[in-house]
Structure 1
Amino acid sequence: MVLHKLQNDGMGLFKQISLQQLWRGAVTTLLAYPLVLLAAVTGTAAGVTLAELSFEQRQRSLYLEKLMLVSSLGLILFFTLELLVRKYKLALQWRLLLQLAGLLLLGLYFYFLPPELEDRHWLRYLMLALALHLAASYAMFLNRREENAFWQFNKTLFLRLLTSALYTGVLFLGLVVAVLAMEELFAVEVDGEFYAQLWLFMVGVFNTWFFLAGVPANVRELEQTHQYPKGLKVFTQFVLLPLVSLYLLILYAYFGKIIVQWAWPEGWVSVLVLCFSIAGILSLLLIHPIRNEEGNTWMRTFARWFYRALFPLIILLMLAIWRRVSEYGVTEGRYIVAALALWLLATALYFLFSRQKNIKFIPVTLSIVAVLAAFGPVNAFRVSEWSQVNRLEALLQENGVLVGGKVQQQHPPVSEEVEQEVSSIADYLARRHGFEALQPWFNGSLQDSIAAATDSLDNRWQRNFAARGKVLDLMGLAYTPGSPRAGETYFYFDSQPPGAGEAVHDIQGYAYALQFHLRNVEGGSERREYTLGGAPLLVSMDEDATTVYFRFEQETLKLDLLPVVQKLARGQQEQVKPADMTFVVQGEQVQLKVAIEELSGYRKDRYYIQSVGASVFVQLPE
């Protein structure tokens, strides 16, 4: 029904307007939201440029990734500022001042972002983006009144978003078919990156421009409007509310099972409770204006009992997250789940006991939670680092590795289970926070030791891996993968265990030496490209999970690692020596000597290499 209405509205729109009107509308939108569209164009240009670059070129153009991130934030920030200008009818100088302040904030954000973005930067970005999107929903309605205008405004934005997505998708598919027809009929050559770039343009520029053209501006008119789309009512009443009710029954049945069995809830139940809560709150917001109308008994009953029914599930959510935190400490993900659980509790209490029950409470408080989780004094990143460092400290003290506040390289033997825990924490710190907090445990400069091991490496994955290994080496411990999940077997090889010196390789007869580290993830692996004597050498694992491919000019050489992987997976690591991990791969144009230095992965239904690092020595034909 909603899509049918959108289609009818779209047909009616094209019947009533001309190309001149479209052009005037586009210009009017540009003048109304100049910096919003500038941010959209800038971010899209950065994305289109990135799509053309190889992996090695991207490593030298990391600022483009930062520019995309900051531009996407700028888009919603300037949109929110323009809404404030409209609401309070600010003079031109105040509008320019707000825009200048926004540019300054974005410039500072761009400046303080590191050249290479890590997981914590993306997570902080997502929380900030959520807060800005929520702020846009209530920026023009900061007083307690105008609740109907608030609902009507966001209803219009919601429908406009659906309309924009529909038009963007249809237009993109139409253009793709047109380009394919040109390729087939007229033998026109089109680069593979063109389609990704076209998609980025359609989503970044066209979709944004089209959406902005339909944003309502007159708050007074909205307050007097009481239109409710019939299609939205049908969707909410007959699709969304029944689904939410079904989730409620499933979660209550699981809650009863936990009580009967007196067992801890599974961690996955947190996702279900959060999804149910979000869908339920969205349903309440969608039916808010008509819930008390005659004939809407089901909606009225749902609105009355939803928050009461939420309390047992909030308890279930808190128990699930408490179990994970008590066993494995706080991480950013667990912090966010706990924060959302507390927010759900506060929201349920507000709508049950407050006389006002203003729906603006939901976006306002959630945006505050997002900002505090990202930048507050006890934000997700600070608390997570503190928790994991304390866990690591307790483990090392219990096993005689940390004595009197200092790490002892010579210490009693440590069990494999403890090494797994320590390795897991070290891996987390390497990926999310670094090791600055561990400096008091070491006499020398920990940062200098890590820098010596990582400065020559190409990217952050390699640097994180090397930093983790160096810290464990200084503790006199070896990296040990964690306990496998059901049906999985981990394998691991490191040519330089603690106490071993740097590897020495015989390079006689070889003209070039290089190093690579590949991470294999779902959907494909990383690639590395090198230039040898003017010819490219491409190293990848794209075609197989246990084979490394070396493509030199027109020839592809294969290094099958399955035999050694099988031996490692059978628990025979001690039988695999560095000499066993050195291979000579002979081709017609090139000869390679490959010394595997690190290899890790797991076996479930098949063997799967997650990461591999090696030194490669190359001999080209004379």
Structure 2
Amino acid sequence: MKLTLKNRLPSISSIFTELMISTKRFPAECVYALIGAFAALQLVRDDVLDSGNGIYWIRLLMLAAIAFPLNLSISLLLARRKTCSLGQFWIIKSLIAMGSIVFFFVLDPESYPQDFVHFWLLFIAVVLLVSFAAYLQDGDTLAWWHFNKILIIRLLTGALYSVVLGAGLSAAFATVDKLLIEMDWVYLRYMWVFIFTVFFPLYFLSGVPKRFDASLLIQHYPRGLKYFSQYVLIPLAFVYLMILLVYEFKILVQWQLPDGMVSALILGYSGIGILSLLLIYPIRNNHENAWIRSYSTYFYVFLTPLFVLLMLAVLKRVSTYGITYQRYLLLAIAAWLLFQIIYFLAYKRATIKAIPISLFLLALLINYGPQSAMSVSLASQKKILLRLFESEGLVSDGFLQPVAEDSIAVPTAVRMASSLMYILDNYHPEVLQSILPIDLEKQRDRISKDQVLAANNTNTYRNARYELNNQIKRDLHLDKFAYYGRFNQDDSDLLTMSYHFKSSSSTIDIRDFQYVIEQRPYPDSTQIDTVNNLPYRQSKDAQASTVTLRVGGVDYKFVVAEFIRQIVEKQPDQLKSYEISTPDQGFTKQYAIPSSSLRLSQKIGQLEVMLQLQDISFDYKKNKEITIHSARGAYLLKFNGDVN
């Protein structure tokens, strides 16, 4: 039968009919979609996040995001078994609803930031559950593949329809606002939320297959998918593989540990490769696809040496900086890849269903419990924090003591601040109570009762916690070092120091000079003045590292950046004697330097020009360019005879 445009594109009435069918087939899932829509609509209001109530809507949205795929998984599992009565069906759904309510009250990401990680891991797990719930005890891998193909195509189609619908309605909204009446743009946000939280999930549900056997599913292999796998994904995987194998050979020759970026490349190769294996599964054994069959056979063989490289790269970072939950996830994925390698190489009856099932189990395993990502990373960072303080003799009776900024190495202080910030950013501050001498609960209550804080902020709890985090950093004298965020020992030469040089005297000695020209911080290179009947103008380069005074036709250039680099790097002991120490200076160093040490001079022909710097602020990185923020001074001119 010849397909026409009418056959291929659904009508509005057919889409509406499908949506109605999905509400009858998946009533619980539709309810959770509406709950999520309601929560999302509340969140896009202008004032909700500042009011302090936004966290409840975020929790409700999280609940819906977890409950929707979980209910869908259970519905597919029960539909496949066909042994569940209507009463049993609703009992199971009621138990899930009660669990969701408990989840809502247990989840508190505002107090416990780690709950965001728990949510995402749980969300990934329940989404994976949808892919195999109906085939958990079914060995028909081909049926499972076609079932998921239908789900993915439906998902992509629904996303496309939603984007097109949203774009069209947005254009109509803007047209009405421009030509007819002024519209409140918050309703445009409501419209987009409604499309993606109501229309999109209901449209997706309407396309979920009702039949599960391979003989009853549509088994057509999409030609576009075949071309995409053959000519895009697999060649891309080969490119990654060649780069990584060459890099591994380089490591063996030079006998050095791998760079941290190699982890991303290996994960990229693994992800693309495994995705390719999943996509080409039905056609892997076709006679005309011999090279695809070879790819499927040897993929895990080539992955084995890359797994070793991945472990070296991850363990290098862990041994130096400890475990964060991101590094823990890398270790967990590496362990999962090892399982895949052993499973597919050693087990002759291996099935690709093991990929989502094992990922599902992994997500659950690393989410909660003493072995979870957040528990292990907290223990690791607390241990590192204690070790750093102990190495400086700053632990007394098990409690951390304030850092003495003038007697501690800058990289050490930054590493202390980095570990402390990681804990405060990802956990409730009270996880540090056992190693801090202050009572954090009393501090939090005191801050919460602060009248000024309450008057200036609507979300008192959030700001109280923010202030408590800052108080902890101040009490340990790490607040200035925390500015530099996450720190790697490899980057110790890249630490930025801020300097402020000023002349020890505000008076400029002009003896032996005839003219003084103020050095403008923002010179207009087009403005021309005269001195001794000669035109002059000032200019500087984009980074202010070089300033120029052009007198007549001669340029007097002063490389200020190189001048101050010489002072910082070549005269450190002398510079130390000029330092103005302050209790909270951190990375900002101030110096009062004799005027005679802040002079640059040039003589060309009969004219001598000296730049007298009075005040200069700049950032300095070892072996890197100096960034000048401001400079103030004067040009002193001395004419020796006629220079015309």
User: Which category of TM-score, normalised to the shorter sequence, fits these structures?
Assistant: 0.7 to 0.9
Partner of 2:185: 192
1:71 equivalent in alignment to 2:64: yes
1:413-432 to 2 correspondences below 5 Å? 413-432=407-426
Deviation digits for residues 349-384 of structure 1, max 9, x if unmatched?
100110211111101110111111111331001000
Secondary structure at the counterpart of residue 342 of structure 2: helix
Deviation digits for residues 90-128 of structure 1, max 9, x if unmatched?
211111011111111111111012272654222211111
8 Å contact 2:211–2:217 — kept in the other structure?
no
Secondary structure at the counterpart of residue 287 of structure 2: coil
Partner of 2:53: 60
Partner of 1:372: 365
**CA distance, structure 1, for counterparts of residue 222 and residue 296 of structure 2:** 19
8 Å contact 2:48–2:54 — kept in the other structure?
no
Residue 180 of structure 1, aligned match among 168, 174, 184: 174
1:212 equivalent in alignment to 2:205: yes
Mark the CA change 1:197 to 1:403 in structure 2 (over 3 Å): closer, same or farther. same
Partner of 1:397: 390
Partner of 2:467: 466
Instruction: Tell me how far 1:51 sits from its aligned partner.
Output: 1.3
Partner of 2:354: 361
One-letter identity of the residue aligned with 1:341: A
**CA distance, structure 1, for counterparts of residue 183 and residue 442 of structure 2:** 49
8 Å contact 2:162–2:199 — kept in the other structure?
yes
Partner of 1:239: 232
Partner of 1:80: 73
Partner of 2:635: none
Deviation digits for residues 271-295 of structure 1, max 9, x if unmatched?
2211221111010011111101110
**CA distance, structure 1, for counterparts of residue 190 and residue 434 of structure 2:** 49
1:148 equivalent in alignment to 2:155: no
Residue 346 of structure 1, aligned match among 339, 344, 355: 339
Secondary structure at the counterpart of residue 200 of structure 2: helix
8 Å contact 2:110–2:462 — kept in the other structure?
no
8 Å contact 2:142–2:214 — kept in the other structure?
no
Secondary structure at the counterpart of residue 338 of structure 2: helix
1:126 equivalent in alignment to 2:124: no
Instruction: Tell me how far 1:259 sits from its aligned partner.
Output: 2.0
**CA distance, structure 1, for counterparts of residue 442 and residue 319 of structure 2:** 34
Partner of 1:301: 294
Instruction: Tell me how far 1:269 sits from its aligned partner.
Output: 1.7
Instruction: Tell me how far 1:192 sits from its aligned partner.
Output: 2.5
Residue 41 of structure 1, aligned match among 16, 34, 38: 34
Mark the CA change 1:190 to 1:118 in structure 2 (over 3 Å): closer, same or farther. farther
**CA distance, structure 1, for counterparts of residue 421 and residue 228 of structure 2:** 46
1:212-361 to 2 correspondences below 5 Å? 212-221=205-214, 226-361=219-354
Mark the CA change 1:398 to 1:219 in structure 2 (over 3 Å): closer, same or farther. same
Deviation digits for residues 390-423 of structure 1, max 9, x if unmatched?
1111112221111342445598943333222221
Residue 170 of structure 1, aligned match among 157, 161, 164: 164
Partner of 1:531: none
Instruction: Tell me how far 1:49 sits from its aligned partner.
Output: 2.1
Instruction: Tell me how far 1:470 sits from its aligned partner.
Output: 3.0
**CA distance, structure 1, for counterparts of residue 295 and residue 4 of structure 2:** 31
Secondary structure at the counterpart of residue 366 of structure 2: helix
Mark the CA change 1:331 to 1:464 in structure 2 (over 3 Å): closer, same or farther. farther
8 Å contact 2:143–2:212 — kept in the other structure?
yes
Deviation digits for residues 509-539 of structure 1, max 9, x if unmatched?
xxxxxxxxxxxxxxxxxxxxxxxxxxxxxxx
Secondary structure at the counterpart of residue 205 of structure 1: helix
1:96 equivalent in alignment to 2:90: yes
8 Å contact 1:492–1:573 — kept in the other structure?
no
**CA distance, structure 1, for counterparts of residue 462 and residue 306 of structure 2:** 39
One-letter identity of the residue aligned with 2:94: L
8 Å contact 1:74–1:106 — kept in the other structure?
yes
Partner of 1:619: none
**CA distance, structure 1, for counterparts of residue 239 and residue 124 of structure 2:** 28
**CA distance, structure 2, for counterparts of residue 232 and residue 85 of structure 1:** 31
8 Å contact 1:350–1:357 — kept in the other structure?
yes
Mark the CA change 1:397 to 1:240 in structure 2 (over 3 Å): closer, same or farther. same
1:436 equivalent in alignment to 2:430: yes
Partner of 1:585: none
**CA distance, structure 2, for counterparts of residue 94 and residue 227 of structure 1:** 36
Residue 496 of structure 2, aligned match among 489, 492, 500: 489
Partner of 1:452: 446
One-letter identity of the residue aligned with 2:186: E
Instruction: Tell me how far 1:27 sits from its aligned partner.
Output: 1.8
**CA distance, structure 1, for counterparts of residue 449 and residue 275 of structure 2:** 49
Residue 381 of structure 2, aligned match among 381, 388, 396: 388
8 Å contact 1:450–1:471 — kept in the other structure?
no
**CA distance, structure 2, for counterparts of residue 351 and residue 69 of structure 1:** 36
**CA distance, structure 2, for counterparts of residue 111 and residue 492 of structure 1:** 50
One-letter identity of the residue aligned with 1:467: L
Deviation digits for residues 466-511 of structure 1, max 9, x if unmatched?
3344334544665413469687736699xxxxxxxxxxxxxxxxxx
**CA distance, structure 2, for counterparts of residue 243 and residue 293 of structure 1:** 22
Secondary structure at the counterpart of residue 74 of structure 1: helix
Identity %: 30
Residue 154 of structure 2, aligned match among 153, 160, 167: 160
Secondary structure at the counterpart of residue 178 of structure 1: helix
Mark the CA change 1:22 to 1:461 in structure 2 (over 3 Å): closer, same or farther. closer
Mark the CA change 1:44 to 1:574 in structure 2 (over 3 Å): closer, same or farther. farther
Mark the CA change 1:155 to 1:192 in structure 2 (over 3 Å): closer, same or farther. same
1:51 equivalent in alignment to 2:44: yes
Segment of structure 1 superposing worse, 332-341 or 397-406: 397-406
Instruction: Tell me how far 1:334 sits from its aligned partner.
Output: 0.4
Instruction: Tell me how far 1:32 sits from its aligned partner.
Output: 0.8
One-letter identity of the residue aligned with 1:33: F
Secondary structure at the counterpart of residue 375 of structure 1: coil
**CA distance, structure 1, for counterparts of residue 196 and residue 235 of structure 2:** 32
- Contiguous gaps of at least 5 residues in structure 1: 1-7, 494-569, 579-600, 610-622
**CA distance, structure 2, for counterparts of residue 333 and residue 359 of structure 1:** 27
Instruction: Tell me how far 1:234 sits from its aligned partner.
Output: 1.3
Mark the CA change 1:475 to 1:606 in structure 2 (over 3 Å): closer, same or farther. closer
Segment of structure 1 superposing worse, 197-206 or 52-61: 52-61
Deviation digits for residues 416-464 of structure 1, max 9, x if unmatched?
3322222111111111123434433455534323543466455577445
Deviation digits for residues 7-40 of structure 1, max 9, x if unmatched?
x89852446x672x54443222101111212211
Mark the CA change 1:244 to 1:134 in structure 2 (over 3 Å): closer, same or farther. same
- Contiguous gaps of at least 5 residues in structure 2: 501-567, 569-574, 586-618, 630-644
Secondary structure at the counterpart of residue 216 of structure 1: coil
Partner of 1:532: none
